[in-house]
Structure 1
Amino acid sequence: MSDYSTERAQAAGDDLLPGSADGQTRDAVIKLLVQDGPLKASDIAERLGISAAGVRRHLDALTSAGDVEASSAEYGAAAGHRGRGRPAKWFQLTAAGRGKLRHAYDDLAGAALRALREAAGEAAVEKFARDRVERITEHIEPAASADAVSATVEKIASALTGAGYATNTRHVGNGVQICQHHCPVAHVAAEFPALCEAETAVFTELLGTHVQRLATIANGDCACTTNVPLNHVD
């Protein structure tokens, strides 16, 4: 039984006992939202091969529990192409729902970094954080021109997804945003912000332009969002 199922079973009783159909389906919904969210109910239904009514029932339960929230904003390819009628709802995990995905190694990682800081100081923690991000992005060449920034952003997003960050991008105004919908070190980063700061620094160097971190999961936001301007390269 997953950590998420355990949390929900304790709160909801028999409805989410280990192996129950509802528990397994809600785990599958959560997994999709982590990997590819925000998603519409129809997208979730199609991917899981269940009815739209069934998906809505699970989404209603997860929303009532405070684990999922809905937005009428458009995402991805749908942005800027709204048709007639009522806007579709897009569902994503809340900070509370994401918190139930805590990894078993969080306590160990936190203890290790505290020991490193005590033995070698804050600079050692910062070096560790930077080395970690550089390993994730080591195959990415810095953007050589302003025209190359968008392509480099996509490479960064792909590398982050491969490292467990469930990342996508979206164009907003004159820039593009890197949206990390899951952070495998979120609970550790809450205590050690150097992990987030190292990401921002490496993104800036690879893209050759000042980037701005707008939100982080470690601070309780639903995603880590980094804005990248596309109008110039320093």
Structure 2
Amino acid sequence: MKIEAEVQATTETAGQGPGGAVAAGSSLAAEAASGHDTRHAVVRLLMESGSITAGEIGARLGLSAAGVRRHLDALIEMGDAEAHAAASWQQVGRGRPAKRFQLTEAGRGKLGHRYDDLAVAAIRQLRVIGGEDAVVDFARQRIDAILNNVAAASADGDLEATAERIAGALSEAGYAATTARVEGGVPGVQILQHHCPIANVAKEFPELCQAEQEAMAAVLGTHVQRLATIADGGYVCTTHVPLTNRAGKAGAVTRKH
């Protein structure tokens, strides 16, 4: 089977046998090893990775090719995951690019959205009572509370380190955030939110996404650009922080306290 071949090739490349275990200390691998939590571990990996190959899933979780295929087939059949062709820049080595798998909107919708209807109704009422400014203030206070303990970047500070601290605070709030260095185009670091616990609410109230961007800019002390959001149909909320200069610093929004 094609998926089995991809899994075996990836694990062997990583210096493991076809059924070898991944490095100790991996929480996802430990979760997969517990048996009944394997499906949940696969879903978490799809969420945190944005998109990933079957071989990478096998290598990260220590699963056999047959095991990976079984879980991916089940998730696809339920409509929770989908496969797509890899982009040219995602190809590693020669040969035909391996398929990549990612959660669908329906799959993401099953992750931590239990009180969306209540939240939407509450913010609608807030808008009726206090107007648009009340919604904007609420959105900003919410993200400021999440980033409250993140030390702001100094004038000559390390933006990449500050971005990592922001990602850490977002992860603690349920966003499964990471950072990635980008060298092409405008060099920078990207803050990647692989999950959004308020995505369904933000579809109606984009003020929540705008407030996140403004709060990040304030902590970083420089202009940032939102390239994609899960609320708008993206698979990852992506915020680009340019490292070439800090010319946008003067235009950064001041944090509210």
Instruction: Tell me the TM-score normalised to structure 2 length.
Output: 0.71
One-letter amino acid matched to 1:68: E
Q: Which runs of 5+ in 1 are unaligned?
A: 1-21
**1:89 Cα deviation after fit:** 4.5
Taking only the aligned residue pairs, the percentage that are identical comes to 55
Superposed CA deviations along residues 53-74 of structure 1, whole A, max 9, x for unmatched, are 2202322443463623345359
What aligned pairs does 1:45-84 form with structure 2 within 5 A after superposition?
A: 45-63=58-76, 65=79, 67-70=81-84, 72=86, 82-84=92-94
Query: Does residue 119 in structure 1 map to residue 129 in structure 2?
Result: yes
Structure 1 match to 2:213: 200
Q: Secondary structure at the match of 2:158?
A: helix
1:215 matched to 2:228? The reply is yes
- Which of 96, 102, 115 lines up with 1:92 in the alignment? 102
Higher RCO by CA contacts (8 Å cutoff, separation 6 or greater): 1
What one-letter code is carried by the residue in structure 1 that aligns with 2:166?
Answer: I
Distance 1:68 1:57 in 2: 14
| Residue range with higher mean Cα deviation, 184-193 or 63-72 | 63-72
Deviation at 1:211, TM superposition (A): 0.8
Q: Deviations over 1:151-189 (max 9, x none)?
A: 101011111111000111112221111111110001111
**What SS is found at the alignment partner of 2:111?**
coil
Return the index of the structure with the highest Cα Rg. Answer: 2
Alignment-mate amino acid for residue 215 of structure 2: V
The answer to whether the 8 A contact 1:165-1:184 is kept is yes
Q: What is the letter of the counterpart of residue 163 of structure 2?
A: V
Query: Residues 136 and 102 from structure 1, CA distance in 2 versus in 1: closer, same or farther, beyond 3 angstroms?
Result: closer
Q: Which has the higher helix share?
A: 1
Q: Where do 5+ consecutive residues of structure 2 fail to align?
A: 1-34, 250-257
Residues 11-61 of structure 1, C-alpha deviation per residue, up to 9 Å, x if partnerless? xxxxxxxxxxx9964343212222444444344335544312220232244
> Are 1:187 and 2:197 an aligned pair?
no
Alignment RMSD (CA, Å): 2.7
SS at match of 2:222: coil
TM-score of the two chains, using structure 1 as the length reference: 0.78
How much has 1:140 moved relative to structure 2?
Answer: 1.3
